[in-house]
């Protein structure tokens, strides 16, 4: 509704010859539309069923893994929104500096400062500190690359895999007293869309996954309960099992 209203107002302002106000209305419409798309993807979108989201990949250390990725729509959406806001701020700075009104001119520097701060988000993305996350299952354990952190628990340390409902459905891969075996790293404190838990748990928020949460839960649970089959992780056998939902 807000998107449509902004489009209508922007279009009206254009017809009246007020192109700055019209451009502002259209800019706001695009911003709201982008946020709606991200929100729908996180909360309402029907996730990919069964094994269609499962891939064979490798870890950073080169170990074969079976993986589930975070939502590409959300990752691109976050980046687009921040760039879109930065563009508006720098355009506002240019217009303010060209104004004949001294009061308006004084807003130039604040616009630039805020624009530079917003651009630190794409900078964090370029540095790889904010990245599209993924869940990897290997013969050694479960690896999570969140938006801004990484976490790993070996199978030997995992004591339970449980579903929870906090800010939406979640899957918790817990290690009990496995603090010493928990490997983790927080990449940045800027623009933290997520953060490491304060105990040895791989906390998977279903809203960020590109796959159905129930499917992801049973996939993790199967390899937790069947250690003899973990050797197939990272191979076509694991993908075939996922596609057939043979859990």
Q: What is the residue-wise DSSP string for 191-219?
A: S-SS---SSSEEEEEGGGBSB-HHHHHHH
pLDDT > 90 fraction of the chain, expressed in percent and rounded: 40
Give the pLDDT of residue 57. Answer: 86
The domain spans of the chain are: 1-45, 57-70+132-243, 87-131
Reference 135, options 213, 225, 73, 189; nearest CA is: 213
Both tokens of 100, joined, read: 């004949």
pLDDT over threshold 70, residue 14:
no
**Angle ∠(70,75,80) on CA atoms, nearest 5:** 170
Which stretch of 21-30, 85-94, 141-150 has the lowest confidence by average pLDDT?
21-30
3-state secondary structure of 65: strand
Reference 145, options 199, 200, 184; nearest CA is: 184
pLDDT over threshold 50, residue 12:
no
Residue ranges of E strands in 103-159: 134-137, 141-145, 149-154
Name the more confident of 13 and 223: 223
Name the more confident of 103 and 147: 147
Q: How many CA atoms lie within 13 A of 90 on its CB side?
A: 11
What pTM was estimated for this model as a whole? 0.84
């Amino acid at each position: 509704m807000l998107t449509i209203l902004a489009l209508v107002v922007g279009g009206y302002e254009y017809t009246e010859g007020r192109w700055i106000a019209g451009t502002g209305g259209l800019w706001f419409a695009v911003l709201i539309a982008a946020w709606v798309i991200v929100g729908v993807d996180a909360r309402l979108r029907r996730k990919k069923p069964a094994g269609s989201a499962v891939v064979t990949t490798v870890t950073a250390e080169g170990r074969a893994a079976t993986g589930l990725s975070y939502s590409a729509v959300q990752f691109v959406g976050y980046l687009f929104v921040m760039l879109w806001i930065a563009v508006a701020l720098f355009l506002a700075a240019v217009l303010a500096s060209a104004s004949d009104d001294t009061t308006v001119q004084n807003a130039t520097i604040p616009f630039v400062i805020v624009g530079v701060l917003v651009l630190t988000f794409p900078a964090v993305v370029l540095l790889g500190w904010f990245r599209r996350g993924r869940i990897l299952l290997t013969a050694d354990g479960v690896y999570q690359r969140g938006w801004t952190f990484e976490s790993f628990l070996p199978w030997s340390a995992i004591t339970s895999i449980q579903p929870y409902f906090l800010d939406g459905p979640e899957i918790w891969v817990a290690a009990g007293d496995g603090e010493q075996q928990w490997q983790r790293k927080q990449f940045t404190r800027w623009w933290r869309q997520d953060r490491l838990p304060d105990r040895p748990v791989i906390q998977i928020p279903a809203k960020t996954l590109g796959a159905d949460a129930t499917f992801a839960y049973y996939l993790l649970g199967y390899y937790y309960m069947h250690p003899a089959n973990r050797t197939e992780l990272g191979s076509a056998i694991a993908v075939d099992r996922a596609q057939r939902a043979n859990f």
